[in-house]
Structure 1
């Protein structure tokens, strides 16, 4: 019987909040020397200014460490193939080359053209939620379908496959079973290979088709598979968790959704504050120091693994006043929920747009939206690198 691994400190949460131990590190030494699940030493970075420094400097803090280096089932060639096209696993100039091909699809101008269709998708999901009857699972009928359908249309993925890739994605972020996680990686790669083969043969008007038409000679199949997998996963997993967890946060403080109902323009600062306060992406992966560095007075040798804690950084009292309070009016300018620097989340404009459309529409459709059982303990995703809810029963 496989033993469930211990949950690393950077992944531990106390409901919405970082655990006290993580906060103590941030407010004390700022850096914690810890052990990785595979026996190596890592340095957990917790202060906002220090995390920002790490994310800003790819020359000293390199991302070019394959995310599958610790996967014992893969040989070196397999790791290289799995890593291809994965933007977070490269430094400039390779990262710049890949990102430049995708950036036009995520501009503010491009987002404006998508807004009417996203609005339609949101309204359709709200219809489905209403048809489900009270009480209904908001995650199943709203939070998951909205970003899933949006990214399916953008990538040219058949929406009929959504249940399959949603289940795979859940295993990809679940650290409780490394064996099932590895199996999900293999399944995901095989599925993406099929999408790429179809796009190579007959490129459509979707993003994958665009990449084949405009950059097909410059991208290998492995790179296309990696890009497609990254976009499909990131495009629905993060936003879906934000919609579910964000709704729970708002319902726990009814004065805040009431303000959005009265003034829908408040949704813009509300989204930024929810991103900061929830910090569902617990860490943007590891960095490796390329030289000896000093962070918060700590000497860290070259070749060391550094883990930036976004949840600790975004709750840093040195970053903003009263950080543990959810205040949707402040906007939280400078939060790190989407990262910072060259690896700032490419899909941030899309995620923001989906939330800015979805939250006001949900609150308008259901003025009496409430938790089905206020005393019920939320079903949080504990062993997951993307924090969220497994379900959320609501009534109206």
Structure 2
């Protein structure tokens, strides 16, 4: 049973020291290859999509245990270490922080062309955009995405790790996703929830409890806008006078005509289409949600979807400074295990033969 998790981490400024990043790259590469060799790429993907395992790996590699930089630095180290050997591994990591996050579709397209998998690449690009819009727009928890990594394998499995920032609290929240057969993207889709910063109330349109409101939002878009506005204004007198969590000022009437302009010619057939409508962001979804709650008396979930290891110390010296000698010994031990692994008959052994310069 997969755990469901989101991780909140405080913002730490500064950069990872070059010497530590190089060690993180080597050690993470050795760990990734051992998992690949022993269990296969499917297990490797599964572990990266587990927020608890991912967090422990970052701590093992010596990064600040509770820092927002753990996500960006660890993903960067793994990607940098494995990128020259993606084709041999059948394991591809795209995206990153800031501009690199925005370039994720281009990276997926690049590998799709290299592998002659254009149709699969198009599917992954759509998935990448959909998942980003879910965590940025459909799950309105106050964290704006700035980091997005899409991982996929030649077997058709995939995972997403992305992170958002709350500028007011200076905390970051990490979201993990993984591919599952028959996955419902709109019913508690993350692979886990782990947090130290719980919100009293969020708008969670991908909760299983928001099924009715999602259907109601689609129904509204098939109605005449003037009828919707009349319904809202009549409800002001009949409905808002009672004690109710929504006030008339909560319904952004100026936003509704813009939504209809974007969807009138080609109304979305399902919630996925709605999320992928160009120019339809978090504010528009909130307006639709409030309108649907008022007219259909349906309810959207407002429950925050919430539900770890030192080995080499931490970059910031907590709980103690990184011990370079022990760190180097750990890398040497794991690399030695890889070199001594039987390679005569196994397919994984053939992979290692193709990577003679891996640890130079």
Fold conserved between structures, TM > 0.5? no
Query: What's the TM-score, normalizing by structure 1?
Result: 0.26
Q: Which structure has the bigger radius of gyration?
A: 2
TM-score normalised to structure 2 length: 0.27
Bigger proportion of residues as helix? 1
